[in-house]
Amino acid sequence: MTAIDPRAPAVADLGALRRKRGTGAALIVLAGVILLLFGDAAGDATFRLSRPRDAWVLGDLIVPALPVIQIAAALTAFLGARQFLRGGGRWTTLSLGVGLALFVMAFLVWATAGKAFSLTGMLQATMVRAVPIALGGLAATLCERVAVVNIAVEGMLLAGAFTGALMGSVIGGWGGLVSAVAVGGVFGFLLAALVVTYRMDQIIAGVVINLFVLGLTSYVSSQVFAEMRHLNNAPVFRSWKIPVLGDIPVIGPMLFDQNIFVYGALVMVAVSTYYLFHTAHGLRARAVGEHPRAADTLGIDVYRTRYIHVTLGGMVAGFGGAWFTLGSVGRFDENMTGGRGFIGLAAMIFGRWHPVGALMAALVFGFTDSLQQKLALLQTPIPSEFLAMAPYIATIVVVAGLVGRARPPAADGKPYVKD
Amino acid sequence: MSDRGAVDSLLQRAAPGRAEFEDLVIVPLFAVAVALILGALTMLATGVDMATIGRSYVALLQGSVGSLGALSETLTAAVPLVLAALGLALGFRTGLFNIGAEGQLLMGGLAAVIFGFSFPGLPFPVLMPLCLLAGALTGALYAAIAGYLRAATGAHEVISTIMLNLISYRLLDWMLSLDWVQREGRSDPVSRSVPPNAELPRLLDWLDPNLRVHAGIFLMLLAVWAVHWLLFRSKLGFEFRASGANPDAARYAGIRASLVIVLAMALAGALAGLAGANQVLGVLGRATPGFSAGIGFDAIAVALLGRSHPVGVLFAGLLFGALEAGGRQMQVDAGVSIDLIGIIQALIIVFIAAPLLVRAIFPWGFRRRDKGGAR
């Protein structure tokens, strides 16, 4: 290979060099920004690790604000310089990740300086807010692994939220949850029918489902719910603490003292990872996503596989949608998903079309989301609108591939026409 | 046989045949009819009685084309839809699915308002066009972010434009709370008003001061012509369409794909920004949170319905404008929520975008093609 075109490796080196240098320079700039923006901190920052009524109480974590910020800036600058001079390869992404984490840490310390802040509470909120995004990402992953682009995740979440509120009010919480899953599945099946059988453009089909669900739910909520309030008053699933595990400081409240949606999301991510990557059926599904014609030749029914997985994806999204009503407020509002489905799509891309990756990405988004909420309490001088933008900007940054580019399933978005 | 095929295809190009007639007329007609029927079923399902359903569709008709005032409302509602949808159509032709018209529209409208009240001393023939230009440029810049990200990093424009939409809402809220933007003496987020010499003049207010139709309709017609010329008569438009039809072939033919993407997004944003400027200069007179009222999303439907053709977009925009104006009348007369219009619009697009579905439902409407006579 190298003998044929001796220039090729040189060109690749040049690209890698530029990326290495660029990342290094960006990190050094980031260090400057940390010093410039957060250098005026004074006093101690208090982070609470336990809640008052916890079984095992940990002491508060008290750090002097200014020195910590300076150390964070110095570390970032060091990483940047190292990256600039001799980084590359795996180090590029790793340094960038560590640099961003240091930036967030410095920001938190700056915002908390002279005040107290419950770290455990924020981590718990992070997990809760990550749930709809993770489930949206998981739904999209299931669909895209069989090469169906599912822009309709947003609409499926909204449909799940609506059904959860309506049926939850009529037949109770569990009935509402089951109905939400079923309705999500119906929309998944509808999407599959439109794109697999009627070969509609996948993105247009998704947009149409989103529009339709938005129109239908808004119509019913203003036509029916406005007068009959008892139809929009569902019971909420309370959190259920797992004995012993729930008492572990910090991670106990985050992972083991939550409601059924958090446990459900974790279980689904685990099950779908096992299914997709460790079973024969999962292998067949992925084959349909990578090379449908080859899969067809081997006797896999491409259409049926797509129908099944898109419907499953819809059911997962319906479950995630029920979180909005049955898992938090019990009441449906127009367009209450507010773009979470799209953030879920971004989480899927960030997570490289892998359920666990999507969950991790969702946690990052959940973190920015809950950070914004908690920071409003700390009264930082930053306008709240900008904090509210943070998750969206994070999504753009992530999708733009600053964290490294990922490869979608090869046949993603392409309809398959059987000979 | 091959000669015959070539002649046929030439003939077909010269005179639109039955097949195109089916695509352009019968499918949309069926789509609208089925959507209205399904809309009625939705009303039935939510406990609306038959008399009210009849009354609401009468109101829909009256409110859209039933009087001079209704026509004026239809046109007023159609102008921003057509402008924004033209931009989206340009993107679709280039293979870009831009969902960001809403945000581009908000940013463009806000820029037009700010420019207007910042230079109230300029005379009308200077200030009004400059306000429109400010709106178009801001929309173009905002959309170009997504275009640049797509070209430089491969970030899918669907996700980045949706995120830019969400960012634009917050940005608008923040701007409206700034001292130099917010109206004096108000604590709620309302911008200062556009001065009278920046407004798009109303055309029929000498007949009746309630007729809101304004000079924006000329802007709309001009834009339809300009986009048609750009897409089908200019070199740039050819590059756009070539990139949309086959990106690889276009690249091998020497078309700079990245430049085309950024330019197409910027032009789409300029048209959306123009739509926003048109709203604030012609109808609203100021900016408030969410003044776009979902026009940017409805425009997606309009562009799809118009088959991404400028003239098709014009007619689709008029139809959606009529639905919008009629829907308001429907809400007043029959007490049926205007959100029903959203359902009808979504159904129309489903049937337009999946002609196979319409053919499956109405096989008797398409008998010619089944016999294979045209081929």
Lowest-confidence region among A18-27, A54-63, B16-25, B177-186: B16-25
| Nearest-angstrom CA–CA distance, B33 and B46 | 20
Minimum distance, in Å, between the CA of residue B356 and any CA atom of chain A: 6
* Closest C-alpha among B359, B360, B241, B322 to residue B77: B322
What's the CA gap between B67 and B325, in Å, rounded?
12
Q: Rounded to 10 degrees, what is the CA torsion of A113, A119, A123, A128?
A: -90
pLDDT at A18: 67
What value does the mean pLDDT take over residues B86-110? 91
pLDDT of residue A222: 85
Which residue is associated with the tokens 């399904």?
B38
Q: Are A232 and A331 in contact (CB under 8 A)?
A: yes
- B163·A395 Cβ contact <8 A: yes
Query: For residue A311, with 0-12 CB atoms within 10 Å meaning exposed, 13-18 middle and 19 or more buried, which class applies?
Result: buried
Least Cα distance to B102 among B52, B144, B142 occurs for B142
User: Which band of pLDDT confidence, cut at 50, 70 and 90, is reported for residue B75?
Assistant: very high
Residue whose tokens read 């997570």: A351
Nearest CB among A346, A383, A395 relative to B174 is that of A383
| Nearest CA distance, B340 vs chain A (angstrom) | 6
Mean pLDDT, range B214-222, rounded to an integer: 92
Contact between A216 and A161 (Cβ < 8 Å): no
Which two structure tokens, joined as six digits, stand for A305? 């596989």
Residue of B nearest to A195 (CA): B354
Torsion of CA B201, B202, B205, B211, to 10 degrees: -160
From chain A, pick out residues whose CB is under 8 angstroms from the CB of B147.
Answer: none
CA within 13 Å, CB half, B158? 22
* Interface contact flag, A342 B153, Cβ < 8 Å: no
The residues that bridge with B271 in the sheet, in sequence order, are none
What is the pLDDT at residue A25?
A: 82
Q: Given this model, what pLDDT does residue A309 score? A: 95
Residue B59 in any domain: the answer is no
Residue B124 falls inside a structural domain: yes
Q: How confident is the model at residue B300 (pLDDT cuts 50, 70, 90)?
A: confident
More confident residue, B371 or A161: A161
Report the chain B residue with the minimal C-alpha distance to residue A201.
B353
Reported pTM: 0.82
| Chain A residues lying within 8 Å of B143, measured CB to CB | none
Whether B167 and A399 lie within 8 Å, measured CB to CB: no
Q: Do B353 and A395 touch (CB under 8 A)?
A: no
pLDDT at A42: 76
Find tokens 């809220």 and name the residue.
Answer: B173
Name beta bridge partners: A168.
none
Above pLDDT 70, what percent of chain B?
A: 90
Q: Is B149 on the interface with A (CB under 8 A)?
A: yes
* Token couple for A93: 């992404």
d(CA B152, CA A75): 30
Q: Are A218 and A204 in contact (CB under 8 A)?
A: no
How many CB atoms are located within 10 Å of the residue A418 CB?
A: 9
How remote is the C-alpha of A172 from its chain's centroid? 29
> Exposure string (b/e) for B255-272, b if CB count within 10 Å is 16 or more?
bebeebbbbbbbbbbbbb
Angle at which helices A280-290 and A260-278 pack, to 10 degrees?
Answer: 80
Give Cβ neighbours of residue B196 (< 8 Å, ≥ 6 apart). none
What confidence tier does B22 reach under pLDDT thresholds 50, 70, 90?
A: low
Q: With 80 as the cut, is the pLDDT of residue B88 above it?
A: yes
Question: Could you say which of B99, B173, B356 has the minimum Cβ distance to residue A198?
Answer: B356
Domain assignment of residue B243, yes or no:
yes
Query: Binning pLDDT at 50, 70 and 90, where does residue B367 land?
Result: low
Contact A211 B46 (CB under 8 A): no
Q: Give the CA count within 13 Å in the CB-facing half-sphere of A289.
A: 24
- The residues near B231 (Cβ < 8 Å, ≥ 6 apart) are B90, B93, B237, B240, B241, B310
d(CA B231, CA B238): 6
Contact list, B155 vs chain A (CB under 8 Å):
396, 399-401
CA distance A107 to B252: 48
Asked if B331 reaches chain A (Cβ–Cβ under 8 Å), the answer is no
CA B92 vs CA B149, B157, B263: distances in Å: 17, 12, 13
CA-wise closest residue to A158 among A215, A204, A202: A215
* Residue A182 amino acid letter: A
Q: List the domain boundaries for chain A.
A: 7-114, 121-399
Question: Does A345 contact B159 at a Cβ distance shorter than 8 Å?
Answer: yes
- Do the domain assignments include residue B106? yes
- Residue B21 confidence (pLDDT) above 70: no
Sign of CA dihedral B91, B96, B99, B100: negative
Print the SS3 string covering chain A. Answer: CCCCCCHHHHHHHHHHHHHHHHHHHHHHHHHHHHHHHHCCCCCEEEEECCCCCCCCCCCCEEEEHHHHHHHHHHHHHHHHHHHHHHCCCHHHHHHHHHHHHHHHHHHHHHHHCCCEEEHHHHHHHHHHHHHHHHHHHHHHHHHHCCCCCCCCHHHHHHHHHHHHHHHHHHHCHHHHHHHHHHHHHHHHHHHHHHHHHCCCCHHHHHHHHHHHHHHHHHHHHHHHHCCCHHHHCCCCCCCEECCCHHHCCCHHHHHCEECHHHHHHHHHHHHHHHHHHHCHHHHHHHHHHHCHHHHHHCCCCHHHHHHHHHHHHHHHHHHHHHHHHHHHHCCCCCCCCCCHHHHHHHHHHHCCCCHHHHHHHHHHHHHHHHHHHHHHHHCCCCCHHHHHHHHHHHHHHHHCCCCCCCCCCCCCCCCCCCC
Average pLDDT of the residues in B181-210? 84
The residue type found at B282 is G
Here the tokens at position B365 are 């409407």
Contact A208 B149 (CB under 8 A): no
- Range from A358-362, B32-36, B45-49, B138-142 carrying the lowest mean pLDDT: B45-49
3-class SS at B121? coil
The pLDDT value given to residue A2? 38
Check residue B13 and give its pLDDT: 45
Structure tokens at B110: 């806000």
Do residues B73 and B59 make contact, with C-beta atoms less than 8 angstroms apart? no
Residues in chain A: 419
Q: Confirm if A139 and A317 have CB atoms less than 8 A apart.
A: yes
Identify whether the C-beta of residue B214 lies closer than 8 Å to the C-beta of residue B198.
Answer: no
Tens digit of each residue's pLDDT (9 = 90 or more) over A68-100: 888 888 888 888 888 888 766 667 767 777 887
Domain coverage including residue B253: 76-307
Cα–Cα distance for residue pair B77/B275, rounded to 1 Å: 11
- Across chain B, mean pLDDT equals 84
Instruction: Classify residue B249: in a domain, yes or no.
Output: yes
Listed as ranges, residues in chain A with pLDDT below 70 are 1-19, 52-55, 87-90, 93, 401-406
Size of the A and B interface in Cβ pairs below 8 Å = 129
Cβ(B260)–Cβ(B91) below 8 Å: no
**Can you tell me the ipTM of this complex?**
0.78
- The reported pLDDT for the residue numbered B2 is 44
pLDDT for B8 equals: 53
What CATH number matches the domain at A121-399, 1.10.10, 1.10.3470, 1.10.287, 3.30.230?
1.10.3470
Give chain B's domain count: 1
- The pLDDT of residue A342: 84
What is the structure's pLDDT at A145?
92
Q: Which of A51-55, A378-382, B104-108, B214-218 has the highest mean pLDDT?
A: B104-108
What residues 192-221 of chain A have any CB closer than 8 A to a CB of chain B?
194, 198-201, 203-205, 207-208, 211-212, 214-216, 218-220
